[in-house]
Amino acid sequence: MRNLTINIAGSFLIKILSLLLNLALIPLGMELLSEAMFSVWVVLFSLLTWFTFLDMGMGNSLRNLLLEALHKGRKDEARALVSTSYSAIALFSASAATLLMIAVPFIPWHSVFNVDVMFTPLLEKTMYLAIALFATQVILKNISFIFHGIQLSFLGNLIVLAANLLSFVWLLSIQQQQSSIALDQFTAISLGSPIIMYVLATVILFLSRYRFLTPKLSLFEKGLFRKLNSTGYKFFIIQFCTLVFIQGNSLIIAQLHHNEDVINYNASFRIFNTAVLAFTLMLAPVWSSYTKAFAKNDLAWIQKIHKRLLSLWAIAVIGISIFLAAAPWFFEQWVGRIIQIPMIIHVANAAYSMIHILAAIFTSMINSCSKITLQFYAFLIGSIAFIPAVILIDNLFHHPSTIIFVNAGFLLCITVVLGVQCKKIMSGTAQGIWNR
C-alpha cells in the first residue's frame, strides 16, 4: 500500500506540472505556426498516436508478466522477457515504419489535412520525419512498461513531463529569435524531445540496481514471445480501437468541417482531458497492484480499492462540472485573443471526459488480470460502427460537437458492459466470456 501511495502521489504532482506545460504549449504552438499548419499538427499528432500499435500490444503484456516474474524472484526470466519484448517491438516497428514511408508519396496529404495542395512537399517531408521519430519512440517507450513492471510507474510519467519541458524550452528559445517556425522543424522538436528523455532514462535504469534487466539480443525466446503475444494481440486491437475513439475526432472534424473547428476542439479537449490523464496516471500503479492482488486471490482488497476509485470518479465529475461552468472565462483568459470556442464544444468534451474516466477505472482492473476478451470484442465492434454512425449523424446536425457526443455515447455503452464484468470478477462469479 505504501508503494502504491508513493506512485499515486508522485503521478499527481507530475500531472500538475504537466498541465501547466500543456497550457503554455498550445498558445506557443499557435503563435509559431500559422492557423493552417497548427491544424495540420493537431491532426498529424492524432494520426501518429494511432501508430502506438507498432508495439503490437506487447508493452501491456510485458508489464504484467515482468511484475509476476520479479514477484516470484525469477530474474533470468525477467531479463529474457525484456530482451524478447525489445527485439520483437524493434523489428515490427522498423518494418511497419518502412512500409509507411513507402506509402507516403502515394497519399494525398493535402486532402487528409484539408489544406491547399501547395503544401504537399512540406507535408510529405514532415510525414517521413514524423514516422521515423515516432517509430523510434515506440521502441524506446518500452522503458515505461518496465517502470510499471518494477512498480515505479511515476518515473514513466516523469519522462513525459521532462520531454514536454524540453520541448517547451526549445520552442520558447526559438520564439525569442524568430516569429515563426516550419512545420517539419516543429515536428522534429516535439517528437525528438521524448526520444532524448527515453534514451536518458534507459541508460540510467540499466546502469542502476536493475542492471540485470538489460536487454540482450541473444536472450530472445520464442516461447516468451508467444507468451507476450498470447494477450498482446488483444491488447493491440483494444489499443488501436481505443485510439479510434480518442484520436479519431480530430481527423473526422478536419474532413467534415474546417481547420478552425479542429483547433477549437483540440484546445477544449486538451483541458478537459487533463482530468482523464490525471486519473490514468493514478491508475498506472493501481494496475500493477491489482495484478499482485489477483495473484494472491485477494478479492477483498481489490473491492476496497475499486470502491475508492469510484468515489474519486464522483469527485472528478463534480470538479469537471464546476470547471465547465467557468470554461468561457478560463478560455478567454488563455487563448481568447487567438480563438473563440463555442460552449457546446466544452459541454461535449466534459461529458466525454467523465465517461472516459469511468471506463479507465473498469479497464484498469480487467487489464491487470488479462481477462480482456469481452473488452476486445466490445471495442472492436464499437470502433467499426463508430465512423459510419458519426458521419450519418453529422450530416443531420452538421456541427463538430455532434462528433464528440456520438463518441461519448459509444464509449458509454462499452463502459456499462465493462462495469458488469468488473462486478462479476470481484465477486468471483465471472464465467464464460466474462472470465476470459
Grid coordinates belonging to 337:
485573443
What's the pLDDT tens digit per position in 210-219? 899 899 888 8
Who contacts 338 (Cβ-Cβ below 8 Å, separation ≥6)? 27, 30, 31
What's the CA gap between 97 and 90, in Å, rounded? 10
Return the pLDDT at 235.
67
Who contacts 174 (Cβ-Cβ below 8 Å, separation ≥6)? 32, 181, 189
Return the pLDDT at 26.
77
Return the pLDDT at 164.
86
Q: Once rounded to an integer, what is the mean pLDDT over residues 195-212?
A: 92
Residue 191 confidence (pLDDT) above 60: yes
pLDDT band at 153 (very low <50, low <70, confident <90, very high): confident
Return the pLDDT at 52.
63
What's the pLDDT tens digit per position in 369-422? 878 888 888 888 888 888 888 888 888 888 888 999 998 999 999 999 999 999
pTM above 0.75, yes or no: no
Q: Once rounded to an integer, what is the mean pLDDT over residues 224-238?
A: 70
From 83, 86, 49, 188, select the one nearest 132 (Cα to Cα).
188
Q: How many CA atoms lie within 13 A of 15 on its CB side?
A: 21
Residue 200 confidence (pLDDT) above 90: yes
The residue count of the chain comes to 436
Helix, strand, or coil (residue 65): helix
Residue 340 DSSP class: -
What's the CA gap between 338 and 334, in Å, rounded? 9
Which of residues 322 and 57 earns the better pLDDT score? 322
Return the pLDDT at 291.
79
Return the pLDDT at 436.
82
**Rg for the chain, CA atoms, rounded:** 21
pLDDT band at 177 (very low <50, low <70, confident <90, very high): confident
Q: Once rounded to an integer, what is the mean pLDDT over residues 21-30?
A: 78
From 155, 166, 123, 147, select the one nearest 67 (Cα to Cα).
147
Who contacts 56 (Cβ-Cβ below 8 Å, separation ≥6)? 88, 89, 92, 229, 232, 233, 236
Grid coordinates belonging to 333:
483568459
Mean of the per-residue pLDDT values for the chain? Answer: 84
Return the pLDDT at 412.
94
Q: Once rounded to an integer, what is the mean pLDDT over residues 79-100?
A: 89
pLDDT band at 169 (very low <50, low <70, confident <90, very high): very high
User: What percentage of the chain reaches a pLDDT higher than 90?
Assistant: 26
Helix, strand, or coil (residue 221): coil
Q: How many CA atoms lie within 13 A of 411 on its CB side?
A: 28
Helix, strand, or coil (residue 338): coil
Residue 110 amino acid letter: H
Residue 1 confidence (pLDDT) above 70: no
Q: Once rounded to an integer, what is the mean pLDDT over residues 168-173?
A: 91
Residue 105 DSSP class: G
What's the CA gap between 206 and 398, in Å, rounded? 53
Q: Which H, E and C letters describe 128-195, residue by residue? A: HHHHHHHHHHHHHCHHHHHHHHCCCHHHHHHHHHHHHHHHHHHHHHHHCCCCCCCHHHHHHHHHHHHH
* Contact between residue 382 and residue 241 where contact means Cβ atoms under 8 Å apart: yes
How many CB atoms sit inside 10 A of residue 191's CB? 22
Residue 4 confidence (pLDDT) above 60: no
What's the CA gap between 294 and 386, in Å, rounded? 34
Phi then psi dihedrals of residue 210, to 5 deg: -100, 25
Residue 369 DSSP class: T
Element (H, E) at 111: helix 109-112
Residue range(s) defining the domain that contains residue 103: 2-435
pLDDT band at 193 (very low <50, low <70, confident <90, very high): very high
Residue 368 DSSP class: H
Residue 247 confidence (pLDDT) above 70: no
pLDDT band at 337 (very low <50, low <70, confident <90, very high): low
Which of residues 239 and 321 earns the better pLDDT score? 321
* Contact between residue 215 and residue 83 where contact means Cβ atoms under 8 Å apart: yes
* Contact between residue 172 and residue 32 where contact means Cβ atoms under 8 Å apart: no
How many domains does one find in the chain? 1
